[in-house]
A and B are shown apart, each in its own frame.
Chain A
Amino acid sequence: MTQLALVIDLNVCVGCHACVTSCKQWNTSGSAGPLFDDNPFTRDPTGTFFNRVQTYEIGTFPNTETLHFPKSCLHCEDAPCVPVCPTGASYKRENDGIVLVDYDKCIGCKYCSWSCPYGAREFDEQQKVMKKCTLCVDRIYDESLPESDRKPACVLACPTSARMFGDVHDDQSEVSRAIREDGGYQLMPEWGTKPSNHYLPRRKTRLNIQEDELVRVDNPLKKEDIRHETSKNVSLDDWLM
């Protein structure tokens, strides 16, 4: 079975919000209608987004680190938002595991958003239906696009390649390899939702050198020290040579 998902590398995400804007641009222009924006250019702008980048500070000054944290629907394998929907508008696709909302069936009761511990769903105040990340389902299967473009908009926009897209059930895929080899983890594993999207942790490469390793005990230079003290009496030769 296929489970399409994103793998987000927190080690290289620089928090530029390119994934946010490209997601908004693609998904507000599709046949499903615009993603609502209220007061976009004045005070208190608000609107519906499928993807957001948050920023956290870890540690206490001066030992701090900034973490940029892109957050969107995780397309859980055991998605808790789907069974609670009274109308069947929320569903998980059998063939690729994408969790979608049928905007024509949704009654806007918001019950699914209560049943998502990640706050991944956002209510559209204009269309009055629940919306969420579609993993650009209208793009990844579009055969009119060149094959290299058949990826979610956020993945294509990322300038640091922090976002990977693929089938996490295929153990040979790029995303599966990244999860396996680079320590991919899931958010809030305590709820048993089995998120399909994984995050790669911040990683640091450190040289582990002991102090005594810096000085060679059997340094040949020391055995027969051929270096001479420099003369305090500067001669003309010191200037010329």
Chain B
Amino acid sequence: MSEAMLKVSGLTMRFGGIRALNDISFEVQRGSISALIGPNGAGKTTVFNCVTGFYKATEGALTLHPQAGQSYNIPKLLGEPFQAADFINPVAFGRRLYYKMFGGSHRVANAGVSRTFQNIRLFREMTAVENLLVAQHIHMVRNPLAGVFKTKRFREAEERAVERAYFWLDALNLRDDANRLAGGLPYGRQRRLEIARAMCTGPKMICLDEPAAGLNPSETAELAEMIRMLRDKHGVTVLLIEHDMSLVMKISEHIVVLDHGEVICAGGPDKIANDPQVIAAYLGVADEDEVNL
């Protein structure tokens, strides 16, 4: 069996004295659609933020295996503080110094993770196409003078990027909006554009934070199709946070349930739907004693 795409073990996140996440461990299988659910404030988005390099985890390991034989330690990519042992080991010291100086969230994206946000964060004053081009800058010619003189390499890279941008606009049914300002698009399309932008970075795993929030039922059904399409046609592993349980149960193969910063249950949709602890977390209980574990 191949290694899991993402392995989270012992993840703890503290904000001052508040423990938002407490010793979380779970795995996301390669090529799966997995969901992270839980009541409000359970810490779902915090997990996302740690996985995508938005926050630096306080403790724990997040290991990413975008391809067989490739592995990244996400906190390390962000730059960790020096450890005592580094001062007698110049190689470890050098490596840590390198990531301290040149590390950052962009390294996580380049390793193959991309994400969308619960509150849409498009570049509102850029057109839809430009939003998608920005996401592809890794594949672009970076020298600004090459752009001024329009070198062959620059033009080819630019053409490829535009092609890819239109490919994703088509895939998410946004072609007509290509040259509109992202901030002016209707809400549902902004959500789709954000997914398209995340896909343009060429991820191996995409993290969708409440992709169905604010969508009407037909848009939600369309979204479910699109998420399946991402996995089936493009081989991307999907990890999503969602409150729409019918959507979660319909598309995901593996579900992790969080409550108060801890994993309370993990498994297939059937197992989750019938788990007493999950039901208790969602519906609440009249008295502690009623839950018999």
Bind each other: no
B residues apposed to A, CB below 8 Å: none
* Chain A residues near B (Cβ < 8 Å): none
